[in-house]
Amino acid sequence: MIKKFLYILIALFIAFFVYINFIFDINNYKSDLEKMISNQANIEFKILGDLNLDLGIQTRISAEALSVRKNKVLLFESEIFNASISLSEILKGRFDIDSLSFKDSKLYGINIDESIIKSYNIVAGRTYKLQNTKYSDIKLIEAKGYFEGEFLRIENMLLDTELIEGNGFGKINPFKETINISASTFIKQNDYLKSKYNEFYPKYLIDTQLPVLISGSFDNPNIDINVSDIVTEKLKKEIKDRAVKSIKDKIKEKLESEINIKLPF
């Protein structure tokens, strides 16, 4: 009886393996995935390349060349798209996405990196002219999310651009077409960036937490960095640290002076 059960189990496993690897085609569900994301996020989501299925420890799908539009206006595009999914739900004709990642992407409407450079140099008394006002180049976005009422909640977001990297969270209202993403970032330091921006490179902000807020509408997002507040707080801390150090040095000198007077040598 046990052997018969094992034979049945093995046969089912083999049948499943053959079906998934030789018969099942994830691309048959590509239009369903596009429609699901488009409807839930109130956008026009399109995958230009073929879908690939990876049956590893965690089932994942990937594709090349995707785009997001709203009213035919291009909002976002990415060269590589990855998603963690539930295979059992796909077999039922549904997509249950746990996490997403986008590599080599463009976010249209704002330039995150150059906006930071410009804001920093305004505080420094210099004028920096944006070289690219159309979009942000983003190396990597990774995030988990879920729908709660009318909002798409974003959590555990990783943001990596040429200039900054950090973590964030936020929410998107698909039907009001608004976005509110907050990220805590840090400036990268390497020779390429220093050479690219020269005197405009924000060296004073290195090792300083840089809050970045992206808000507004889908087609007209805004970026808020508050560099002036960050520089002001950093200067206050430096002045306070120097004052404390100066006081400590004076106390140390006084004590050493008193000790030297009392000692017979």
Summarize pLDDT for 17-58 with one digit per residue, the tens: 444 454 456 788 788 888 888 887 888 999 988 888 777 666
Domain tally, the chain: 1
Q: Say if 190 falls within a structural domain.
A: yes
Give residue 94's pLDDT band: very low, low, confident or very high (50, 70, 90).
Answer: low
In whole angstroms, what is the distance from residue 69 CA to residue 174 CA?
A: 13
139 in any annotated domain: yes
pLDDT per position as a tens digit, 223-244: 888 776 776 666 555 555 554 5
Strands of the chain, DSSP E: 44-47, 51-55, 59-70, 73-85, 97-108, 135-148, 151-161, 164-173, 178-187, 210-217, 221-224
* Whole-number Å distance between alpha carbons of 222 and 119: 13
Residue 208, domain extent = 27-262
Is pTM beyond 0.85? Reply is: no
State how beta strands 59-70 and 44-47 pair.
Answer: antiparallel
pLDDT at 24: 54
Distance CA 225, CA 217 (A): 18
Instruction: Report the mean per-residue pLDDT for the chain.
Output: 78
206, 231 contact by CB (below 8 A): no
**Residue 11 falls inside a structural domain:** no
Evaluate whether residue 183 is within a structural domain: yes
Burial 67-83 (b: 16+ CB within 10 A, else e): bbbbeeebbbbbebbbb
Domain-located, residue 15? no
Q: How far is CA 176 from CA 145, 170, 179, 180, 214, in A?
A: 18, 15, 9, 12, 16
